[in-house]
Amino acid sequence: MAPVNSQRTIDERHTTHVKPPSGFPTLELGEVWRNRDIVLILAVRDIKVRYKQSFAGISWAIIQPLLTMIVFTAVFAGVVEVTTHDAPYPLFSLAALVPWSYFVHAITKATSCLVTDQNLITRVYFPRLVLPISAVVGGLVDFFIAFALLVILLVIYGSAPTLKILLLPFFLLFTILTALALSLWLSAINVQYRDVNNALPFFSQVLMFVSPVAYPASSIPEKWQLLYALNPMATVINGFRWALLENQPGPGIYSLVSVAVVLIALFGGLYFFRWQEDRFADVV
C-alpha cells in the first residue's frame, strides 16, 4: 500500500547514516556499482578533454607506442642485439608496449585523479573509488586504439593468430587489475603527499627496465625468475607476447606469484583507500 499522504515512498536503502569513522573500513563495492554511470561519464569526460584543442587528437594513442617501437627497434635490433624467440623485433616490442603504455598511462592518470578532481571531492558526495576506477577504465580507449595498430602490424608481418589469442582477454583483465591495484595506493597517498606525483615518472621508468618491454623475460637467469615475477607487469607482457606471437615461451608457474601480488595489492589497496577516503575532503 502506498502512503496516502504522498505519491512517493521512501526506500530504506536510501537512508543515510552519518557517523564518525570507526574501526576497520568496509568496502561498499555495491555502492560503487550503483554509481557506475559516474565511472563512465568521468572516463568519457577525460577522453574528450584530453583531445580537445589538439591537432593529432586521439591518434596520440598510436603515435606514442609507435615511436617508442621505432626507437626500440633501432636500438635493440640494430645496435645491441636482443633475442626475440624468432619474432620480428617491431612486433616483439609493440606487443609489450601496448599493454605497457596503457599501464603507465592509467597509473599516471589515476595517481593525480583525486587532486585533479578536488573540486568534486570537497563539494559532492559519491563513492571516491569511482575516480581511480574511472581513470583506469578510461585508459582502455587508448589501449584499444594502440591494439588496432598492433593488429595491423601482425597482418603486415603475416603472423597468423592461434587459439592462444582467446586467452588474451584474461591478460588484459590482469593488466587492468594490476593498474588499479597500484592506482588505489598511489592516488590515496598522493592526496596527502604530492611527492608521489613527482616520483611517478622516475618510478615508471625504473619499472620499465625491470619489466621485459625491450628484452625477453627469458633472458633473466632462472634463479631470479621468482623475484622477477613479483613485478606483475612481467607476467602481463609475457602473456601478451605468448598469446599474440609465435614461439614465445608461455607464462610459467611463476605467474602465480604475480597473480598473488596483484590480489594482495588490490584488496590491500581497496581497504587502504577506504580507510583514507573519509579524510580526502579535509586534506586534499
Partner 1 sequence: MSFDKPAIVAEGLGKSYWVGGHKLIDSMGMHALVDRALTSPGRVVTRLIGQKKPTSHYPEIPGHMKWALRNVSFSLEWGEVLGIVGHNGAGKSVLLKLLSRITRPTEGHAILRGRVGSMLEAGTSFHGELTGRENIQLSGAILGMRRSEINRRMDEIIEFSQVEEYIDTPVKRYSTGMVLRLGFSVAAHLDTDIMLIDEVLAVGDQQFKRRCIDKMRSVAKSGKTILFVSHDMDVLKDISDRAILIREGSLVMKGSPEDVVEEHLKNAGRS
For partner 1, the binding residue among 29, 49, 165, 260 (CB under 8 A) is 49
103 closest CA partner among 210, 236, 241, 258: 236
Closer residue to partner 1 (CB): 75 or 281:
281
CA distance 52 to 56: 10
Residue type, 51: Y
45 binds partner 1 per the rule CB under 8 A: yes
* Smallest separation, CB 111 to partner 1 (Å): 16
* Smallest separation, CB 208 to partner 1 (Å): 29
Angle CA 236–142–97, to nearest 5: 40
CB 74 within 8 A of CB 11: no
3 binds partner 1 per the rule CB under 8 A: yes
117 closest CA partner among 53, 182, 178, 39: 39
Closer residue to partner 1 (CB): 125 or 224:
125
Closer residue to partner 1 (CB): 103 or 280:
280
42 binds partner 1 per the rule CB under 8 A: yes
For partner 1, the binding residue among 26, 30, 48, 223 (CB under 8 A) is 48
* Smallest separation, CB 12 to partner 1 (Å): 5
Residue type, 91: L
CA distance 152 to 154: 5
**45, 92, 167, 196, 214 from 78: Cα distances, Å:** 42, 14, 32, 36, 13
The position carrying cell 596503457 is 102
Binding track, positions 218-257, relative to partner 1; x by CB under 8 A: ----------------------------------------
CA distance 164 to 167: 6
CB 84 within 8 A of CB 177: no
For partner 1, the binding residue among 122, 162, 198, 247 (CB under 8 A) is 122
Closer residue to partner 1 (CB): 109 or 241:
109
196 binds partner 1 per the rule CB under 8 A: no
Question: Could you give phi then psi for residue 148, rounded to 5 degrees?
Answer: -60, -40
CA distance 131 to 48: 16
26 binds partner 1 per the rule CB under 8 A: no
Binding track, positions 51-90, relative to partner 1; x by CB under 8 A: -xx-------------------------------------
The DSSP output letter for 213 is T
Number of residues that bind partner 1 (CB under 8 A): 43
Binding track, positions 131-170, relative to partner 1; x by CB under 8 A: ----------------------------------------
Residue type, 81: E
Residues interacting with partner 1, by CB under 8 A?
A: 3, 5-6, 8-12, 14-23, 37-38, 41-42, 45, 48-49, 52-53, 119-126, 189, 192, 276, 278-279, 281-283
